[in-house]
Each structure stands twice: as C-alpha cells, then as structure tokens.
Structure 1
Amino acid sequence: MSATPSRTNSFIPRREALQRLALLVGATLSLPVQAALRGEPINTTAVRFSADQQMLITDLADVIIPTTDTPGAKAAGVGEFIEYVLGHCSAASQQEAFQLGLNQTEQLSQSAFGKSFSALTRPQQTEIVTQLTRQQKPFFLSLRELTIVGYFTSETGATKALDYVSIPGRFQGDIPMKAGQKAWAV
C-alpha cells in the first residue's frame, strides 16, 4: 500500500494549484517586479527620472506593446508602472544600469538618425529597439519584462487585451476557444 493518499479525480485542490502557480510565476519574475506586485517598496531613496527619460520609457514600452485593435502600453500607463518599479522596488545599482541603458538608447538614436528616440518615426523606433536587443540585451530584457508585467497587470491589459471574469465560476480546465478569442486574464 502507498503511504500517500490517493485522489479520486485528477484535479488538485484550488489552494494547492494557486500555490504552485505562485511558485512558478515568482521564480520567473525579477525581484523588483515581485516586490512591486506585492506592493512592497524596498528602496527609500527613489531615483528620479527627468521628463525626457519618462517620455523615453513610455515610448520604448509603446514600441514593445503598440496600439493595435487593443490599446498599447502607452494607453495602459506602463511608463508610470516602470518608473514606480525602478524608483521604489529596485536597488541603486539596478536603477543606475537602467539609466545607463536609457542614455545609450538616446546615443544610439542620435548616431543613427540624428534625433531623440521620441522624435523618431515608428519604423525608426522599431529599428532602434531591434538594435537594443543585440547591443544592450540586459537593458532590453529588463525593459521588456517591466513592459509586459505592467501591461498585463493594468486594467487596460486585463480587460481590453484579455478576457476578464472578476468572479470566476467553477474550474473548467479544458474549454474550447473560438478562432480569434482572447486568452483569459487571471
């Protein structure tokens, strides 16, 4: 006989499923993002971004998640989310590295097109972001993570880009989706 209790069905209890999901998601998100999602600021000396840097952050996020048939990162307020996480939930070294990445983005934009990133056309901005993925990979990966988490945890991302049920009914693990149907927000 086995010492572990047997289950009569293949479902796991809701609490156990949520704990497993939290472990899985928590292990894949950076510490600053985890702290921000928990609402736990860890830095009392928040970095201040200039107005130009704030606009650059917002424009970069909007290139990563542009407006299509759903609102983009700019409309979802992702720039403010990124500024909050960096300013309140990141170590000083992470803040400095991000500011360096912003400065290098501006330098790349100036050398390639002779203009600030925010003054470029969308195809030019996309080209600069593509170059960032190769030349400034750590900065780009941080920016991308912050953009995606900020977007899909915003009201806009959760309700416009995803389907949202504020009070879900019973669990159904295998629901057929119609062609073009949005994924569900959790």
Structure 2
Amino acid sequence: MKRREALHRAALMMGGILSAPTLAGAMGRVTNTGPSVAISPDQEALLAEVADVIIPTTTTPGAKAAGAEKFIVRVMRDCYPKDDQDKFYAGLAKVDANSKAKFGKGFAALDNTQKNEMVKQIIVEDKPFFLRMKELTTTGYFTSEIGATKALEYLPVPGQFNGCMPLKSGQKTWAL
C-alpha cells in the first residue's frame, strides 16, 4: 500500500476528520487551479511560530522543526480556493495585529507564555481560523519525516499484520 493510499484510508476511518482540501494536499494533489494569495517570507515565518505553539518542541521536535509552515503554504495554495485563502491569511494577520495591540510587539517576538495566551484568545475570537490552522499543522507535522519518525513509531518495511498487538509502556503510536 502506498503512503497516500494509507493516508486516505486513515482519514476515512477517522470519520472524515480531515477536510477534503487538506486530505488532497496531504496526498500531493492540486485541486485549486485558480488564483492564489501570494505569501511573504514574514507571513511564512508567522505561520511557523503559530504552528510551533500548536505542536511545540518537547522530547520530540515541534512543528517548526518539521517545516509544517511549508506544508500549510503549499496546501492553502494548491487545494483551497482564493476566498478560503483570504480568510485564512486574514486570521493569521489578526493574530499578529492582536499581539501588537496587547503586548506592543508582533507574535514572533513574544515569549512562550504570551504566545500561548494569544492562541487561546484566537480560539475564542476566530475559531474557524484556529481549527483550520490546527488541522493543517497536525497534518503537516505527522506526514513529515520528523513527525513520522520522531513523534510516531515508524516501520519502513512492516512485517506481518497483527491487529491485536499490545504496546510497550511509553511506546509511541504507529505512523502511517
């Protein structure tokens, strides 16, 4: 089974938790052939900072180390219509604007406590943006090499299928 097929099946088993555009992006498809929003390096860096609050570096590398922002930019460009892109990047700009209004500096310049506070605020103020950001971040992270090998258990060439196998204490969940 190819990785893309495994991702598709996993998403179906999860009850379609991933939106269709995100699933298409994880499978490397391009479904948006229309215009796209141009992203600046500063916006991409801001995406990396917000993603790193969602999946921070702990005993495993975080979303920023995995390059989740590059996945987010690609999937937004290739799989979401321009209206959805405009809404998403407006939500991202709002995070930075709120940071400047509340703390006098942009989101990237905040300390971890302040970043967490701003993300909690955006969950309340703009839940659709946060949910999309969270979906794209987690999908980008867990389909990256870092996410699949450092945060999840990965077997490049699996042996036989054993559907009822106990996990060892502290063992990570399996990657697709």
Q: Give your verdict on TM over 0.5.
A: yes
Q: Any conservation in 2 of the 1:26–1:34 contact (CA below 8 Å)?
A: no
Equivalent position of 2:160 in the other structure: 170
Q: 1:92 aligns with which of 79, 82, 107?
A: 82
Equivalent position of 1:48 in the other structure: 38
Q: CA deviation at 1:96?
A: 0.6
Q: TM-score, normalised on structure 2?
A: 0.90
CA distance in 2, matches of 1:55, 1:26: 32
In structure 2, what residue type is equivalent to 1:150? G
- Relative CO higher for 1 or 2, CA cutoff 8 Å, sep ≥ 6? 2
Q: Runs in 1 of length 4+ with deviation above 4 angstroms?
A: 17-22
Matched residue SS, 1:166: coil
Structure 2 matches for 1:111-150, cutoff 5 A?
Answer: 111-150=101-140
Q: Any conservation in 2 of the 1:63–1:125 contact (CA below 8 Å)?
A: yes
CA distance in 1, matches of 2:100, 2:7: 47
Q: 1:38 aligns with which of 27, 35, 38?
A: 27
Structure 1 43/21 Cα, relative in aligned 2: closer, same or farther at 3 Å?
closer
Structure 2 matches for 1:71-90, cutoff 5 A?
Answer: 71-90=61-80
Gaps of 5+ in 1: 1-16
Q: 1:27 aligns with which of 16, 39, 42?
A: 16
Gaps of 5+ in 2: 1-5
Q: 1:103 aligns with which of 90, 93, 106?
A: 93
Q: CA deviation at 1:39?
A: 1.7
CA distance in 1, matches of 2:116, 2:11: 33
Matched residue SS, 2:24: helix
CA distance in 1, matches of 2:12, 2:77: 25
CA distance in 1, matches of 2:11, 2:59: 31
Equivalent position of 2:48 in the other structure: 58
Equivalent position of 2:3 in the other structure: none
Higher Rg: 1
1:84-117 Cα deviation digits (max 9, x unpaired) = 0111111111101101101111121011101000
CA distance in 1, matches of 2:8, 2:140: 22
**Percent of paired sites with the same residue:** 50
Compute the RMSD of aligned alpha carbons: 1.8
Structure 1 19/31 Cα, relative in aligned 2: closer, same or farther at 3 Å?
closer
State the aligned residue count.
170
Q: TM-score, normalised on structure 1?
A: 0.85
CA distance in 2, matches of 1:19, 1:141: 20
Q: Any conservation in 1 of the 2:61–2:146 contact (CA below 8 Å)?
A: yes
